[in-house]
Amino acid sequence: CFSTTNFVEKSHPDLLNEAWVWNVFDLYFLFVYFCPALYLCRDFRYKRFAERLAQLEEAEGAFDYFTLSYRSFGIQRRSDNGLVLREWAPGAEAVFLTGDFNSWEKQSHPFTQKEYGKWELYLSPKVDKSPAIKHLTKLKLVVLTKTGEYLFRISPWAKYVTKTLDAITYDWTHWDPPQPYQFQHPRPPRPSSLRIYEAHVGISSPEEKIASYRNFTRDVLPRIKDLGYNCVQLMAIMEHAYYASFGYQVTNFFAASSRFGTPDDLKHLVDTAHSMGITVLLDMVHSHASSNTEDGLNYFDGTDSCFFHGGSRGNHSLWGSRLFNYSSWEVVRFLLSNLRWWMEEYHFDGFRFDAVTSMLYHHHGIGTSFSGNYSEYFGIHVDEDALVYLMLANHILHKLYPQCITVAEDVSGMPGLCRSIEEGGLGFDYRLTMAVPDKWIQVLKEVRDEDWDLKNIVQTLTNRRRGEASITYAESHDQALVGDKSLAFWLMDKEMYTNMSALTAMTPVIDRGIQLHKLIRLLTHSLGGEGYLNFMGNEFGHPEWLDFPRKGNNESYHYARRQFNLVDIEHLRYRQLYAFDRDMNLTEDKYGWLAAGQAAVTTLNQADKVIVFERSNLLFIFNFHPCNSYIDYRVAVEHAGKYKIKLNSDELQYGGHGRLVQDTEFFTEPMPFNGRAQSFLVMPTHVSLNKQMCS
């Protein structure tokens, strides 16, 4: 990675970008005049969104009030300490409240039925003026069904649920602390270059246990800051009964998981991250819900169609979970208010929306191979209600919180996902480039690295929708899970337990693995998108997969942890990978290639295994050859001047071989090469080939 130091500072328009502007115009012309069905479909989607928004504002006064319904549903304490409880249970015959406060009398506190399936209960203050239900009281709703059955339920709006070790289901624990947490730090400015550290609180300790919010705040946030990530994406925060579900079987949408600590502990985590200038995203699961009944939303009012579609449409055939009915007024109220809750109550800065593909299509992506044909994105197989819900969510979030960040996990490649709603898009800020980690795993599994097709790899990294920002990653939590392998494991698992000490000679397996681990990550970081993501521990080549305690492993926590202690041992090579990841991020922070336009690849030499490209006034040179170093290798550049090395993966501190002197200067010549007017020769100062690697 090189930088030039003596040309005009102002960025010049890239010829590729200028060509792209005309391409967009041409494509729009074709889209409008030769594909009227697609144009009308885009217009139809915006019209449905506008109609839904107008209906919402007319009926509720304003979307701001409608989306703050968590302030009127559930339990609300008035200024005089009287309590008002409101629930929506359209299929119920009667609703009661029971708990510690009334010795669990089942019918002593009945709700009053209101319009549209709503139920209300008022509890006056006690004689001493304190609330009738005190903080941390255990509660249950009792729902009498039309068939005469009594069901014990947790309020969908419950803010805190807890479970003892020997219990099967969660308890609704009333959260109303006498001294609510007060945030001390404002949200940081939205990063122009988004570098995301994907994290799971429970596995954030080297110890074989469930780690806490406090542990994460104390031990992990400083590492994230040191590594140069400016955003942390927290997974599995919304309460989920089954730990091994990775948080994707949500039972209680307004409750922060109590297995990691209290709501105040999570608020302290977010507040501390903000004090460090770190943006905090929440992994948001609005695509489906747990099928649990006693501590989930399923059959809340005794019917299968309260929050979800009734019948088979309301069940995900692969995940065994329930599917929301996005056409329901009250479901939209619940979900939009859920977004506002996490933004207002916990001060999150945005969301990564999980399983958007499942939301967008009636087939949920099951058994579907997306080729990119427009017929796959427009038609009766698209769930327009879900699509309009996502448009509403993005509209409201960005109107109320202009700095909010929304990221879509979509494998289908839905056009317009990250375009503005006014253009007929869905309004997301970024999409995840899910094909990239799949490509890296594929080549590591199926092809020897000396036979890699670099053209195919570069095509995968650059093949993204123009004008729609992408978050790219070499590996996420998916690749770390048991049943797959992380990049480090694919590269070095045969020797990771025996040969990662820098006190012994580097073996060919470890040598090649360390070098490729760095190159794969930097190539993905610099060529693949407008944002970058890394899953916790992968930055230093975590030596083991991730496996939550379950019956299949005798409920073991041995693999449900991240061994950050390995980085703190000076003679282990994990420290070298950590150092490279840190300096890669810090270099991006200085030069901002993620915020720049797409790179221009000038050299893609399959025989030499060399890739050269320009981005953000930087020149990137990659040599993937297993044994060849090159002397006097000519590279093309757009700008004349002096170039200096800014990041060198071959430095000794990164586990490299030190074949380049860091302060070497390179001067361009007016010699046209590979479509550029300028070029220069790259020559190693020291050449020490490892011939064993060529055997």
Structural domain spans, the chain: 2-21+598-694, 69-173
Q: What is the pLDDT of residue 164?
A: 85
Q: Locate tokens 């400015």: which residue?
A: 189
**Which residues of the chain are under the pLDDT cut of 70?**
1-41, 684-695
Q: How many other CB atoms sit within 10 Å of the CB of residue 676?
A: 18
Active site residues: 354, 409
Rounded to two decimals, what is the model's pTM? 0.92
Angle (nearest 5°) at CA 164 between 162 and 168: 90
Give the three-state DSSP class for 592: coil
Burial class (CB in 10 A: 0-12, 13-18, 19+), 95: buried
Question: Partners of 352 in the beta sheet?
Answer: 283, 407
Q: How many other CB atoms sit within 10 Å of the CB of residue 298?
A: 21
Burial class (CB in 10 A: 0-12, 13-18, 19+), 270: buried
Rounded to whole angstroms, the Cα distance separating 431 from 533 reads 12
Q: What is the pLDDT of residue 33?
A: 38
* Identical fold, 2-21+598-694 and 69-173: yes
For 256, the token pair is 């922060």
Rounded to whole angstroms, the Cα distance separating 554 from 320 reads 23
Q: What dotted CATH number matches 2-21+598-694? A: 2.60.40.1180
Burial class (CB in 10 A: 0-12, 13-18, 19+), 329: middle
The closest of 72, 7, 50 to 330, measured between CA atoms, is: 72
Q: Which CATH class is domain 69-173?
A: mainly beta
CB distance 297 to 89 below 8 Å: no
Q: How many other CB atoms sit within 10 Å of the CB of residue 79?
A: 5
Give the three-state DSSP class for 46: helix
- What is the tens place of the pLDDT at every residue in 643-670? 999 999 999 999 999 988 888 899 999 9
Angle (nearest 5°) at CA 584 between 578 and 590: 135
Q: Locate tokens 């009308």: which residue?
A: 40
Q: What is the pLDDT of residue 494?
A: 83
Query: What letter does residue 220 receive in the DSSP assignment?
Result: I
Q: How many other CB atoms sit within 10 Å of the CB of residue 403?
A: 13
